Structure 1
């Protein structure tokens, strides 16, 4: 199994006729993603890789069944695009762009919670269920580091994820599903909110989170583990260990406030909850091997 997305998921692409939208639609379909419709206002009647294009999401969902939507839109248009998808009844939405205005992000998250939907992003590479389907930026040459397996992955960083997953493959592991939470200061879905999905997935036997300094999402994971939300082994790698104190980092989410958000805080919380913390990317695979041998998984 996989979480959120598989080869049966019917995907709509908002912004499908743009350069990025059309390029990645082809790659997603080549990977196995079931793209059933696209939306670009004023472009209804066109076809992109054999996929029909509609003026609006509601016009698309009136013609075809849709389970999830992927947004290739500029940050200032993200809120309207998300609200349009939510109003059409779509329950899974992935927002790729970064730099979404903060108040827009807060409104999007509140609207999603009200509708019982999951909106993932922004500033993310997307989500992928290995060997089945993807929504986002996962080039085919990454097949060698995105191997199917039994490790669930959640991440705040795109480039760091490639390194960690490559080390997992070297250690003999693959991934069930990978969820790019994104690096914005207010992620639309948080690590702890995805944990129950991995807990209930029979094909996920352990979870890896790729975090970084700033924010409190990793501390929330520790709290969730203490409350029994996740009973499976969890290994974390945290970027920013050597960051000079007081320096700004690249991600908007890398903000330390109110005495929380330092790497030291996160390590302490995770260790206290029974999680394992890798000092280097290569150690993620080593720790998983140790866990699987000890627990005879």
Structure 2
């Protein structure tokens, strides 16, 4: 049973007529994702990629029966697009857009309170369920169906870890990119909870980095739960300089907060296995599952 994305997921694309939306929606459809329409205000009634285009999410949802959306809207208008999808009560929204203004994301988080929508992102590479569908911009080709769930803050490292897990003969159940911006929707702890409850997931890999407190929140959750399924973590940025953003807007170490060493210590204390290097994640997962068996 995949998390978030399955063969019944019917997807709208907000910003589908732009270059990024056009390119990635075509790839998603090639992979098997059921995309049913696009949203571009002012272009309603047209067709794009042989799909209907609508002015408003609510209208598209009624006509297509969509239950998910992916957002390719540029940063100045991305928050408005997310809020529109939330107000239309779409169960799942994935926001790919990077560096949405922080105050705008505060408004999005306020709109999520009490809503029935789960937001993944912003600045998410998306969700991938091998052989079923992808809702995002991640590369495909090395993924295989299997029993390892992945929750990540890093798009490029996700591709590396997916390839290693496949090479180890394990495969993936669901891969989720929570997003690298400082304020986003669903976090690593909530995704871990969902994957641990998934009957098809036998182990979970967390890909963390400097900045924020998500990894520490995961450590607290794991310490209290003591799950029977192995949890493995890769934390990057051990040599990152203080107070300098490293890639993602959320990858920023402040003095005494958010550094890799502190995150690793908290996770190890909770019983999470730490992969010592990016190139050893696949082997670490294999050993963890062998020890469990």
For the criterion TM > 0.5, the same-fold answer is yes
Report SS of the residue matched to 1:116: coil
Which residue of structure 2 aligns with residue 128 of structure 1? 128
Which residue of structure 2 aligns with residue 45 of structure 1? 45
1:187-244 alpha-carbon deviations (Å, 9 max, x no partner): 2221011122102110001000111111111111111112218542111111112223
The CA deviation at 1:271 is 0.6
1:113 and 1:10 map into 2 onto residues whose CA distance is 24
2:78 and 2:69 map into 1 onto residues whose CA distance is 12
Q: Is 1:260 the counterpart of 2:272 in the alignment?
A: no
Which residue of structure 1 aligns with residue 284 of structure 2? 287
Which residue of structure 2 aligns with residue 189 of structure 1? 186
Q: Is 1:154 the counterpart of 2:151 in the alignment?
A: yes
1:42-94 alpha-carbon deviations (Å, 9 max, x no partner): 21222222211111111112212111100110111111111111111112101
Which residue of structure 1 aligns with residue 166 of structure 2? 169
Give the 4+ runs in structure 1 shifted more than 6 A: none
1:282 and 1:256 map into 2 onto residues whose CA distance is 24
The CA deviation at 1:262 is 0.9
2:67 and 2:257 map into 1 onto residues whose CA distance is 37
TM-score, length of structure 2 as denominator length: 0.95
Structural mapping, 1:208-227, within 5 Å: 208-227=205-224
The CA deviation at 1:30 is 0.9
Report SS of the residue matched to 1:249: coil
Q: Is 1:19 the counterpart of 2:19 in the alignment?
A: yes
**C-alpha contact 2:121 2:186 (8 A) present in aligned 1:** yes
2:254 and 2:240 map into 1 onto residues whose CA distance is 16
Residues 114 and 24 of structure 1, relative CA distance in 2, 3 Å threshold: same
2:176 and 2:131 map into 1 onto residues whose CA distance is 14
When the two structures are aligned, how many residues end up with a matched partner? 293
Q: Which runs of 5+ in 2 are unaligned?
A: none
RMSD over equivalenced CA pairs, Å? 1.5
**C-alpha contact 1:225 1:231 (8 A) present in aligned 2:** no
1:292 and 1:32 map into 2 onto residues whose CA distance is 30
Which residue of structure 2 aligns with residue 243 of structure 1? 240
1:148-197 alpha-carbon deviations (Å, 9 max, x no partner): 11100011111111122222222222111111111111122210111221
**C-alpha contact 1:224 1:230 (8 A) present in aligned 2:** no
Report SS of the residue matched to 2:128: strand
Report SS of the residue matched to 1:38: strand
The CA deviation at 1:261 is 1.0
**C-alpha contact 1:3 1:198 (8 A) present in aligned 2:** yes
Which residue of structure 2 aligns with residue 106 of structure 1? 106
